[in-house]
Structure 1
């Protein structure tokens, strides 16, 4: 497309009047004719003035062409080729690909495909979607192939989109996914502005699934059933008889379908009949022992209350012992809380490598200070008034103050973990005992895998505002990443053409001059 950068240069076209005026002014001189009388010369001269005729029209046209070409060059002509549409990537989540609500965004996706965008699934490896699969999409088919639920269907979309942004640099990326909260685990990455993310609601459903199971008594099982809608998730527990051997268990009281109970030498498992890919291991009771000395008796009372409150959310039964006696070495414990200034016995310390979780409270006298610390799921900062100065070599920091001082140290030892709480639940040390979220905080320590792993049946939705890129950032990124049109400057070529025409005009002018001389 021809474009002129300086449209005011068109005024230079007025210069075409100059060669016309010069051409008319510089008329060719007449020849001398001998006549017998001059009485007829005046009339002939008047007729010549009245019938002005352009002579040497080829020269005039060449001179006009030179002026026009120079005027066009002054107007700054460029040949602008619009940028070719930049192809990119389209990422579609597997749950949306198999949902009937895909029809809402299908026309827009087809429009992008015609522009050269490539269809990919938002899953491991970002595999391409074939035309056959795309034609079948949205028909409630299992287009997510045989990928295990815990392997990718609950994987974080944050990670997948961040990998796509790194794998396809400088390419626009359009993401179409559901807003299921289970797919947005972890920290939200800083995505580039070329990533446009649109969430599409799925068909609203309420799901119920087996969350966990444990041995309540030798003859009964405790089942923890989870149910979820788009607004919230709930958990309820039921107790059912324990079969003597592998059999099918009816759990209608928990809203669950029949469960397949399988007992082996390695343990027992439960599987939902409508989803054999999800199997839950029946857990033994969680055994915890709280030992305290006289100085830590108030701390033991607070800890007992916290553990009993947290046990409501545990998938297994809690067997809790709170006493001032040291547990026997033969006790099959999962947790040992040592609330004393003296160190735990060496025999119990060696049990950590075998899977024991050993907890030790802060030691007196500690250091008086005034600071705060905040840790999820606590929403309010907690006050700390005393911390001990014990440092454990090789231990990491699980909780820390705003100034970086360790509050809870964590040391992995074999299959177990050793914790050192640098403060205490005693109100003279901290305000932890006053927090209503303390049982939930303790639950993340007792069963971190259960609380951290999202269920594939969780239907809760993420707030869409956490996905959208601010408009100001998007506009800035669009200006930076948008492909630019390419321009070819034509001024040089016009000047060269004017020079060529001028050369032709000079050659013709010289030839006409020689012809006039010859005619004389």
Structure 2
């Protein structure tokens, strides 16, 4: 079906009046020429006049056609061909990793869908078609995915590959560690059904390190669908009845559970390094005192090798793992830590009555409301930051950015009771642990984490397309602009040829 994007340009067709006027203006009244005899000229004169008249009319037609085609090009000609809107067969999506358990959990629903003609596809990149019966008869180790993408990332890929008008039924476990970090926005509705896996508990070694007495501290994580808890124990590497197995390779010590029934058997490297922390401050002396007290408590609680030094000048030696820059002064280019910066941000100060929300993964922190009195206004054009702490309105109070392969924490408040009650909170030191101790980043989710999510937290955000987008999906549109340009050039060439020929006559 022929359509125009900007039909307003059709008014330009009125321009054909110009060649019409010129043509009529050039018609001159014939004169009578008296000659002795016209017996030999009469027939040829009539033929010449008739030929001249036809050429003039053809030129007039071509010139008008040029203007009409030019107006159509400006109007944006399209050819809209309708496509078949008949609904395609639906898809059943299940990931390879949990194929048998998932199929067993939703056997009735999957069987009913299969009888209705729904196709089975693996929930992985490519969404390969397969026969469900054949896939179930394969060995688990053969069909298990070696590299698992988060569910939300797979759904974003599915948006580009699923055929139009295809119903989708997705069946997966409800594990938090498989979701991903960014909820996708989709235009294709998905029926997503989840379940809690039978193997719903797990234990693993989160990290391990030598303390100052040369014993080993081990953080053990235990996870179930409702929560993940951590406990730290001290062990003697020489103790034979220890549940851990020690090993030394390439000068690095590691440990793992001796028995798989006790927990994840993957080895964890024992950290032998000393964490060097520098605190620089100028006018925020009290802030530095509160921070030093919290870091000292962390050192005593964890047994981690921590060397803490306060500086009142900018002559901070190199080799510092962490620098707390409790100042509004610019950081000199030569001061660069090995791991991370934690620095005060300056800017407009906002008086606020709110609360300070620390990491949501620390359940004990959620119970205590930490009052927030003042903060620096968060810049509107700030991009690329990960919100670590927030105020009660959801605005970042502490964000994390990667800058030149360095973790940089930007703090939009102060370690000061005039700004907030964080320094009085029992959770002040707990909130700093994931920041200063490597491999204890509470923002990351361990692959063995068994925490589950509610259905409404899992499903992606569905955006209904507007009528314009829906119309585009119902048809295939092809621009005719190139074809009209070709016709315009061809007619112009013919018009020039006839004009030149007419002038020679």
Distance between the aligned counterparts of 1:179 and 1:312, measured in 2?
A: 38
Q: Which residue of 1 aligns with 2:118?
A: 117
Q: Which residue of 2 aligns with 1:499?
A: none
> 1:195 Cα deviation (Å)?
0.5
Q: Which residue of 2 aligns with 1:103?
A: 104
Q: Which residue of 2 aligns with 1:426?
A: 416
> 1:168 Cα deviation (Å)?
0.5
Q: Which residue of 2 aligns with 1:30?
A: none
Aligned partners of 1:289 and 1:327 also within 8 Å: no
Aligned CA distance change for structure 1 residues 115 and 279 (closer, same or farther; 3 Å)? farther
Aligned partners of 1:133 and 1:143 also within 8 Å: no
Aligned CA distance change for structure 1 residues 448 and 91 (closer, same or farther; 3 Å)? farther
TM alignment of 1:44-59, pairs within 5 A: none
Aligned partners of 2:205 and 2:220 also within 8 Å: yes
TM alignment of 1:141-290, pairs within 5 A: 141-142=140-141, 144-145=143-144, 147=146, 151-152=147-148, 155-170=149-164, 171-192=166-187, 194-217=189-212, 219-242=214-237, 251-252=242-243, 258-259=244-245, 261-265=247-251, 267-272=252-257, 274=260, 278-285=266-273, 287-290=275-278
Distance between the aligned counterparts of 1:188 and 1:308, measured in 2?
A: 39
TM (norm. structure 2) is: 0.58
Cα deviations by residue, 1:436-485 (Å, 9 ceiling, x for unpaired):
66555534533588323322222221112324689x999x9xxx99xx9x
Distance between the aligned counterparts of 1:198 and 1:404, measured in 2?
A: 30
Distance between the aligned counterparts of 2:396 and 2:257, measured in 1?
A: 43
Aligned partners of 2:207 and 2:440 also within 8 Å: no
Distance between the aligned counterparts of 1:425 and 1:357, measured in 2?
A: 18
Q: Which has the higher mean CA deviation after the structures are superposed, 292-301 or 404-413?
A: 404-413
Q: Which residue of 2 aligns with 1:459?
A: 450
Aligned CA distance change for structure 1 residues 289 and 84 (closer, same or farther; 3 Å)? closer
Distance between the aligned counterparts of 1:468 and 1:394, measured in 2?
A: 28
Distance between the aligned counterparts of 2:110 and 2:401, measured in 1?
A: 50
TM (norm. structure 1) is: 0.57
SS state at 1:291 partner: strand
Gaps spanning 5+ residues in structure 2: where? 1-84, 361-365, 475-505
Aligned CA distance change for structure 1 residues 464 and 340 (closer, same or farther; 3 Å)? closer
> 1:427 Cα deviation (Å)?
2.2
Distance between the aligned counterparts of 1:396 and 1:217, measured in 2?
A: 38
Distance between the aligned counterparts of 2:392 and 2:205, measured in 1?
A: 39
Distance between the aligned counterparts of 2:300 and 2:185, measured in 1?
A: 37
Aligned partners of 1:118 and 1:128 also within 8 Å: yes
Aligned CA distance change for structure 1 residues 465 and 369 (closer, same or farther; 3 Å)? closer
Q: Which residue of 2 aligns with 1:385?
A: 374
Aligned partners of 2:349 and 2:374 also within 8 Å: yes
> 1:305 Cα deviation (Å)?
4.3
TM alignment of 1:315-354, pairs within 5 A: 317=304, 319-323=306-310, 332-340=319-327, 347=334, 349=335, 351-352=336-337
SS state at 1:451 partner: coil
Aligned CA distance change for structure 1 residues 460 and 367 (closer, same or farther; 3 Å)? closer
Aligned CA distance change for structure 1 residues 283 and 467 (closer, same or farther; 3 Å)? same
Q: Which residue of 2 aligns with 1:93?
A: 95
> 1:321 Cα deviation (Å)?
1.7
Does 2:351 match 1:370? Answer: yes
Aligned partners of 1:339 and 1:361 also within 8 Å: yes
Q: Which residue of 2 aligns with 1:74?
A: none
Distance between the aligned counterparts of 2:458 and 2:189, measured in 1?
A: 13
> 1:326 Cα deviation (Å)?
6.3
Distance between the aligned counterparts of 2:372 and 2:209, measured in 1?
A: 37
Does 2:118 match 1:126? Answer: no
Aligned CA distance change for structure 1 residues 146 and 108 (closer, same or farther; 3 Å)? closer
Aligned partners of 1:395 and 1:412 also within 8 Å: no
Distance between the aligned counterparts of 2:90 and 2:230, measured in 1?
A: 43
Q: Which residue of 1 aligns with 2:497?
A: none
SS state at 1:455 partner: coil
Larger radius of gyration: 1
SS state at 1:211 partner: strand
Aligned partners of 1:362 and 1:388 also within 8 Å: no
> 1:312 Cα deviation (Å)?
9.2
Cα deviations by residue, 1:12-44 (Å, 9 ceiling, x for unpaired):
xxxxxxxxxxxxxxxxxxxxxxxxxxxxxxxxx
Aligned CA distance change for structure 1 residues 436 and 112 (closer, same or farther; 3 Å)? farther
Aligned length: 369
